[in-house]
Amino acid sequence: MTMMNNMLMNWDYVAGYFDGEGSAYVLTQGRGELSWTNTHRASLEAMQQFIQAGDIRDMERDTSSWSVLKVHRIDDLKRIIPELQARCIVKQDALGRLSQHIESKQGRPAHGILSRLGSDNVASLYYELGTGTKVADLLGCDPSSVYHFMKKHDIPKLVREQQQLMAQIRPVLDSLQPTTALAVQVAKVARELWPEGEE
């Protein structure tokens, strides 16, 4: 059979599979994710149908190939994690950390803050801080909301272009620094020679 019998599929199976072949982690954008990895795609398809969540991706490297079932929607994670926590043994700590991360990011009015700041100010923060996660931490909001806001306004591309421009003009700015320093020194000497109020 290419597909597993759904009558045999239950949360015990899903949790056991996760303990052996699963991962729970926070992505660089601050999003949480659950994943199951295996070369047997049919078992992942059966679990996907059972949990009613996630996407399956086929991966290849050199001569190896495998598939990954990934779940990252907040509502799905909040529904699935408790089922796994009630049954898993090996991955309990990882599930607990992911659950805490999700709960810590809930209820923060990210879009309101981002909208009030505007794309230009968010871009400036991203330019200064370097990552969307750091911007989210500074504003106290969900990193995934920051990620989607920046993607919507094409902020990463704009910041990259600004960084490239700065890299091009920096040599010119550096060459002007001695002239600027000299101008400051000349002004200092002038004030000493001709104090304010003297003709």
Taking the C-alpha atoms of residue 195 and residue 42, their distance in angstroms, rounded to an integer, is: 87
Taking the C-alpha atoms of residue 172 and residue 184, their distance in angstroms, rounded to an integer, is: 19
Beta carbons within 8 Å of 23's beta carbon, 6+ residues apart: 33, 34, 35, 37, 91, 94
Cα-only R_g, the chain: 27
* Nearest residue to 16 via CA among 76, 78, 83: 83
- ∠ CA(104), CA(25), CA(138), 5° rounding? 40
Q: What is the pLDDT of residues 15-52, one digit of tens each?
A: 999 999 999 988 766 678 999 999 999 999 999 999 99
CATH topology of domain 6-105: Endonuclease I-creI (3.10.28)
- What angle, 0 to 180 degrees and rounded to 10, lies between the N-to-C axes of helices 143-152 and 132-139? 120
Residue 61 β-bridge partners: 64
pLDDT over 90 (residue 57): yes
Residues of the chain with CATH 3.10.28.10: 6-105
- To the nearest 10°, report the CA torsion of 28, 26, 65, 47: -140
pTM of the model: 0.53
Q: What is the pLDDT of residues 147-176, one digit of tens each?
A: 888 888 898 888 888 888 888 877 776 666
Taking the C-alpha atoms of residue 146 and residue 29, their distance in angstroms, rounded to an integer, is: 8
